[in-house]
Amino acid sequence: MGSWLRSYLCIAAFFFFFPTIGATAQESGKKLSLSDCISIALEQATAAKKAGYNLKLQGADVLRSYGNFLPKVSVSAAYSPYALNRTYTQYNYGDIARIRTESESIDLTLTTSLNLFNGFRDFASLQSALNRRDAAEFSLARARQTIAYDVTQAYFQVLMNRELLVIARENLLTSRDQLTLTDRQFQIGLKSITDLNQQQADTAESALNVIKSETRMQRSMLELLRRLQIDPQTKISLEPSPEEIKGPVSSKLDIDSLATLALERRNDLKSRDHEANAAKWQITQARASWLPRLDLNFSVTTGGTGYIRQSINGSQETEYAFPPLSDQLGNSIGYSVALNLSWSLFDGFQTRYNVEAAKISHINQRLDYQDLQNNILIDLRQVAGDYNAAFTEIETAKVRLKAAESAFAGIKRKYELGAAGFVELSTARAALFNARSGLAQANFNLLLQKNILDFTTGNLSVQ
């Protein structure tokens, strides 16, 4: 007996005597529906958090742009409790005197500046910031849709692999029952040792398919946990609601209506449009340097001196008495109002370069917008074709399953009566197994294609 047959026999014996091992149902844990998984992913996903932080930053940028229309206010204060100054001076036709001065002083200044005109720079900056904020909002919405789409794909993949695992286990049970029957027939001389060995090999192959199905099931579950960004050791079980796994009933799609819907609802397309508008306003912002700037400045100053002591050549010390500092601050207030006009007549072509850079940025943004628009229309036609094909695939799988069930039932009766060989029985069982798996895959493929269609048209709802 070959080594491959011995391996199959070992696997078959293992599953025959220990049927609960390797075929254990998914460990029970927290039951999650599709909406539960999407909610968890939206809370944990890094992409959504980054998009939210970017939106918050753009909101602060809008506030800053509004602030450019308000006057700038600054306050400065200086208090010197003691100051010593030594100087030399000339008096009496050439005599030199050394003067030593000690004093206490305080100064207060309030300055405000209001820009009256700067070439519409502030207005363009505000419009650009508003467009970038709107773009960030649409980017956040699209990021949430992407997360929901990705989680839905992984969720349905787990459900499909779970269904395929159930089919593989049922196929193994059928193969075991056939092995039991063949062994009894061999004992009474109705089947040869070759038929028994072949049935044992077929049972081992079915057991191996169960192991592979369990592996695929575990891998898809880990991929779902990866998208949920929770602890991989977390025990969860999927329990979808009937509405979540209810497939569409119609395959008729109006491409023109879907194209119009996609161009209206795709948040990433809206985001690109606002980014392009923001880049257009930046052209006006760059051109502002060619125009003059006019500012209105207003300032209030006050100060006082606490005392002054002077000595000449180390003697003749004199102290000057002043009113209290509080009185001096109130009585020494001065005001100034000024209009400041500035105009850069030549800056080495720096403004020209900035304007050209802003124009090119706007052109690139528009090109990106047009490319995305074209890609949406192309993707939509491809997805619509796959969506229609999914309905045909289900109908074909149903016909194939019906034929496989009928063929297997007939071949099995013939085999039990000795009118058919094991090869025919094995082929019919394999065809039945493939037909059942194909129908399960076709049903879930329709759900996946519906999810892709909703994502492509921007019609994917995110709670």
- As a whole number, the mean pLDDT across the chain is 88
pLDDT value of position 17: 40
Number of Cβ within 10 Å of residue 170's Cβ equals 14
Average pLDDT over residues 331-351: 93
Beta bridge mates, 106: 79, 304
pLDDT value of position 399: 95
**C-alpha distances out from residue 25 to 30, 75, 162, 291, Å:** 15, 73, 10, 76
Q: Which two tokens stand for residue 250?
A: 């119609």
pLDDT value of position 139: 96
pLDDT, tens digit (0-9, with 9 covering 90-100), for 40-85: 999 999 999 999 999 999 999 999 999 999 999 999 999 999 888 8
Compute the distance between CA of residue 63 and CA of residue 13 in angstroms, rounded to an integer: 74
Average pLDDT over residues 136-151: 96
Q: Note whether 144 and 42 are within 8 A (CB).
A: yes
Ranges 76-80, 313-317, 405-409: which has the least confidence = 313-317
pLDDT value of position 25: 38
Q: Note whether 155 and 224 are within 8 A (CB).
A: yes
Please tell me the total number of residues recorded for the chain in this structure. Answer: 463
Beta bridge mates, 99: 87, 312
Q: Which run of H or E residues covers position 324?
A: none
Domain ranges in the chain are 3-70+118-292+350-457, 73-117+293-342
pLDDT value of position 93: 65
Compute the distance between CA of residue 19 and CA of residue 153 in angstroms, rounded to an integer: 32
Q: Which of 374, 368, 371, 366 is nearest to 277 (CA)?
A: 366
pLDDT higher than threshold 80 for residue 271: yes
Q: Give just the sign of the alpha carbon dihedral 394, 400, 403, 407.
A: negative
The pairing of beta strand 293-312 with beta strand 95-117: antiparallel
pLDDT higher than threshold 80 for residue 100: yes
Compute the distance between CA of residue 315 and CA of residue 85 in angstroms, rounded to an integer: 16
Helices 350-417, 267-287: inter-axial angle, 10-degree rounding:
170
* Confidence bin at 16 (pLDDT 50/70/90): very low
DSSP three-state, residue 242? coil
pLDDT value of position 21: 37
pLDDT higher than threshold 90 for residue 326: no
Tokens 């990705």 correspond to 150
pLDDT, tens digit (0-9, with 9 covering 90-100), for 276-314: 999 999 999 999 999 999 999 999 999 988 878 888 777
Instruction: Give residues with Cβ within 8 angstroms of 119, minimum separation 6.
Output: 287, 288, 289, 290, 291, 292, 293
Domain 3-70+118-292+350-457 has CATH 3.30.70.1230: no
Report yes or no on whether pTM surpasses 0.75.
yes
Q: Which residue has the higher pLDDT, 127 or 99?
A: 127
pLDDT higher than threshold 90 for residue 27: no
pLDDT value of position 104: 87
Beta bridge mates, 349: none
Instruction: Give residues with Cβ within 8 angstroms of 374, minimum separation 6.
Output: none
Ranges 97-106, 207-216, 437-446: which has the least confidence = 97-106
Q: Which two tokens stand for residue 330?
A: 């109130």
* R_g (Cα) of the chain, nearest Å: 42
Q: Which of 379, 357, 398, 369 is nearest to 449 (CA)?
A: 379
* Confidence bin at 29 (pLDDT 50/70/90): low
Instruction: Give residues with Cβ within 8 angstroms of 24, minimum separation 6.
Output: none
DSSP three-state, residue 71? coil
Q: Which residue has the higher pLDDT, 267 or 421?
A: 267
pLDDT value of position 1: 41
Compute the distance between CA of residue 25 and CA of residue 39 in angstroms, rounded to an integer: 26
DSSP three-state, residue 350? helix
Percent share of the chain, pLDDT over 70:
92
Q: Classify residue 371 as exposed, middle or buried by CB count within 10 Å of its CB (0-12, 13-18, 19+).
A: exposed
- The string of DSSP codes covering 44-60 is H-HHHHHHHHHHHHHHH
pLDDT value of position 316: 67
Q: Classify residue 387 as exposed, middle or buried by CB count within 10 Å of its CB (0-12, 13-18, 19+).
A: buried
Q: Classify residue 69 as exposed, middle or buried by CB count within 10 Å of its CB (0-12, 13-18, 19+).
A: exposed
pLDDT value of position 463: 65
pLDDT higher than threshold 80 for residue 23: no
pLDDT value of position 26: 43
Q: Which two tokens stand for residue 392?
A: 């045909």
pLDDT value of position 219: 95
